Amino acid sequence: MTTSVERLKRQAAEAAVDLIQPGMVVGLGAGSTALKAIECIGERVADGRLHGIVGVPCSAQVASDAQRLGVPLTTLDEHPVLDLTIDGADEVDPQLRVIKGGGGALLREKIVAQASRREIIIVDEGKLSDRLGTTWALPVEVIPFGWRTHLDFFASLGATVTVRTADRNAWFRTDSGNLILDCNFGPMADPDALAAVLESRAGIVEHGLFIGLVSAVVVAGKDGVWWLGGKKG
């Protein structure tokens, strides 16, 4: 049976997919909510409502899901500019800043977002926060070499750190072979300043703060679907 949250994810996905026009190049985000959008795109390709579109997947798992669902795929090498990307988020604040990376695909998701004319985020209303970090730790992707040297660095910034694990307690590895450190900063007073500090640290490949990248957020809740930032993005 479909849960209420799953229904909300589907509603947000459908509203975002309505923006896709035939012939577009579309970024395909990672995560359970973004998967709803891929399912919706596949259905519309199958019934002829969408034709001539191609998708750029943000992870190997997304590529596999898209192929299974009948969404034609391409690459950023073939299409370095995307018309639109639809992706999920772990947490969203009123300034359209988001935390992403719960699925571990933050590096490729950010590359695709930066290549997109519009980045549309889809969430259920439970993902909204007044301050980022209130409900979600910040994923930070680091190269394996010297990863332990970052622990004191994050502690100096006030974070507690957990090394993400996968099956059988093995370290989680991203598609690029890196590690994810989940850094709990608590509610962030200044996400922009924190992002700048993280970007200055050697060994950090990417962080899950998406700032200045989101065109609009589609939110589905008990009272319906609404847009933050405007439908036109």
**Fold for domain 138-206?**
Alpha-Beta Plaits (3.30.70)
pLDDT band at 108 (very low <50, low <70, confident <90, very high): very high
**CATH number belonging to domain 4-128+211-228:** 3.40.50.1360
Strands (E) located in 18-118: 25-28, 54-57, 84-87, 91-92, 98-99
Q: What is the pLDDT of residues 144-196, one digit of tens each?
A: 999 999 999 999 999 999 999 998 889 999 999 999 999 999 999 999 999 99
* Confidence at residue 225, expressed as pLDDT on a 0 to 100 scale: 95
Q: What is the pTM of this model?
A: 0.94
Of 113-122, 144-153, 221-230, the range with the lowest mean pLDDT is 221-230
The token pair at 204 is: 């950090």
* Interhelix angle 32-46/4-17, nearest 10 degrees: 50
Mean pLDDT estimate for the chain:
95
Contacts of 43 (CB under 8 A, 6+ apart): none
- Catalytic residue, chosen from 14, 39, 91, 109, is 109
Mark whether 6 is an active-site residue: no
Strands (E) located in 104-151: 119-124, 138-142
In the chain, the percentage of residues whose pLDDT exceeds 70 is 98
Outline which parts of the chain fall under CATH 3.30.70.260: 138-206
Q: What is the pLDDT of residues 23-37, one digit of tens each?
A: 999 999 999 999 999
pLDDT above 50 (res 1): no
Outline which parts of the chain fall under CATH 3.40.50.1360: 4-128+211-228
